Amino acid sequence: MTAPLFGQPAYEHLSPETRAVVGMNSKVREDWLYQMPFFAYDAMWPIFNEAMFLARQPRLPRPHNLLIEGPTNSGKSALLALIAAALKPGGDHALDHPVPVMLYKCASGVRRDDLVDGFLRGSGLEILPRRRLRAGDLIHYAPIMRLRGPRVVLIDEVHNLFSRAGSKHTVTDTIPTLRDLSMQCQVPLIAAGVKKALYAIQSDPQLENRFTVMRLPPLQSGAPFVRMLMAFERWLPLPEPSQLRQPAFAQYLYDLSGGWIGELKDVLHRGLRYAIQHQTPCLIVDLMQAAGCLSAKERRAVDI
Ligand SMILES: Nc1ncnc2c1ncn2[C@@H]1O[C@H](COP(=O)(O)OP(=O)(O)OP(=O)(O)O)[C@@H](O)[C@H]1O
Ligand SMILES: [Mg+2]
């Protein structure tokens, strides 16, 4: 990186990437938090390590699976993406197998046929018919999937498999499909979802028995939370340091976010936008209040 010109601020409180953005127009700066990288934190490692353990097992007739459970905005999708990146060819934990890891995101209202179609097509097999594949096709393609299919399937928003849009009822026909997919194709599933997924899995003794459930916890207050604040602050394109780690500010942000990483990001994003629009050089508690930052609980209360 070139040295700052004489008289120009060095913005040493910012990451090198953010320094390049701090002088840019307000739109670029307001959107900058979308570019923020993933920050590792202690509580995620047991889950990450379990995922690596399952992925690296040989193909088993009765593979074990993992459910990462957590509330919305807790970082489940971000963690799945990290796991996928670590396992992909050339990644830090790449498998000695040419077939990439598959990441399937369940849209709302997804049906068992959609999952099977997405799974079989995502494997890149050229022999598949053009027509939409159905759950009943799984058994036909399972032998080749055992040979050439993915060694691990990551399923995001898995709770969407268990309830259709507009329906509060558990969709029980997806449970055997999930079980069959894992067992017939001998592939461990690493799924992420909210509590509804946990209840659905627990409703079926065979499925429950094949899943380890790990809850993604919030950041602990104190040092782990402060470390995350410091990492985030380096990505706030503001000309002066916000001192988020100061005890009163850190406590205010902890109370607002409950330690949930996505909530913290949302709150800081709102403060950042307000600071940019009002040409304020850094975040302070008064500004966050003026920006209307609310906790998730407060937001829900207002929504009612
Ligand atoms: N470790 C991390 N470092 C930086 N940003 C993170 C991290 N984990 C999550 N985030 C960010 O927090 C926000 C929420 O994360 P994510 O979308 O993974 O939550 P989620 O639990 O999947 O939510 P939902 O249940 O609503 O899908 C995203 O903007 C994501 O980029
Ligand atoms: Mg998600």
What pLDDT, in 10s, does the model give residues 169-186?
556 778 888 999 999 999
Q: Which of 67, 107, 26 is nearest to 197 (CA)?
A: 67
Contact status, residue 238 vs residue 281, Cβ threshold 8 Å: yes
**Bridge partners (DSSP) listed for residue 125:** none
Helix axis angle, 223-233 to 261-277, nearest 10°: 40
Write down the pLDDT at residue 176: 86
Q: What is the pLDDT of residues 208-221, one digit of tens each?
A: 999 999 999 999 99
Dihedrals phi, psi of 183, to nearest 5 degrees: -80, -45
Could you give phi then psi for residue 67, rounded to 5 degrees? -110, 120
Q: What is the 3-state secondary structure (H, E, C) of 81-112?
A: HHHHHHHCCCCCCCCCCCCCCEEEECCCCCCH
Q: Does ligand 1 lie within 6 Å of residue 19's CB atom?
A: no
- Is residue 2 predicted with pLDDT exceeding 50? no
Cβ-contact 233, 242 below 8 angstroms: yes
User: Which neighbouring-strand residues pair with 55?
Assistant: none
Cβ of 231 closer than 6 Å to ligand 1, yes or no, is: no
* Cβ within 8 Å of residue 40, ≥6 positions away: none
**Residue 37 pLDDT > 50, yes or no?**
yes
Q: Which residue has the higher pLDDT, 192 or 95?
A: 192
Does the Cβ of 262 fall within 6 Å of ligand 1? Answer: yes
Q: Which atom of ligand 1 is nearest to the CA of 78?
A: 18
Confidence of residue 44 (pLDDT cuts 50, 70, 90): very high
Nearest atom of ligand 1 to the alpha carbon of 228:
3
Supply 214's token pair.
């790990």
CB atoms within 10 A of CB 38: 13
pLDDT at 166: 55
* Ligand that lies nearest to the alpha carbon of residue 80, given by its number in the listed order: 1
| Res 99 pLDDT > 70 | no
To the nearest whole percent, how much of the chain has pLDDT over 90? 71
C-beta of 75 in contact with ligand 1 (< 6 A): yes
pLDDT(231) > 60: yes
Ligand sitting nearest the alpha carbon of 261? 1
CA of 76 to the centre of ligand 1 (A): 6
Cα of 74 to ligand 1 centre, how many Å? 6
Closest CA to 285 of 296, 271, 304, 273: 271
Q: Identify any residues that bridge with 65 across adjacent strands, giving them in sequence order.
A: 211
The residue whose CA has the least distance to atom 4 of ligand 1 is: 38
48 ligand 1 Cβ < 6 A: no
In the chain, % helix, strand, coil (3-state, to 5) comes to 50, 10, 45
- The gap between the terminal CA atoms of the chain, to the nearest Å, is 51
* Ligand 2: centre distance to CA 8 (Å): 41
Residue 165 clears pLDDT 60, i.e. is over it: no
Dist. CA 174 → ligand 1 center (Å): 26
CA of 55 to the centre of ligand 1 (A): 22
The two three-digit tokens of residue 193, written as one number: 């979802």
* Atom of ligand 1 at shortest range from CA of 37: 4
SS3 271: helix
Mean pLDDT of 77-105: 87
Find the ligand nearest to 71 CA: 1
What percent of the chain shows pLDDT beyond 70? 93
Distance 67 CA to ligand 2 centre (A): 13
Q: What is the mean pLDDT of residues 289-304?
A: 76
* pLDDT of 299 strictly over 90: no
pLDDT at 72 over 60: yes
User: Pick from 36, 75, 82, 24: which is nearest to 232 by CA?
Assistant: 36
What's the predicted TM-score (pTM) here?
0.92
Mean residue pLDDT across the chain = 90
Q: Is the CB of 45 under 6 A from ligand 1?
A: no
Distance (angstroms) between ligand 2 centre and the Cα of 80 equals: 9
Write down the pLDDT at residue 49: 96
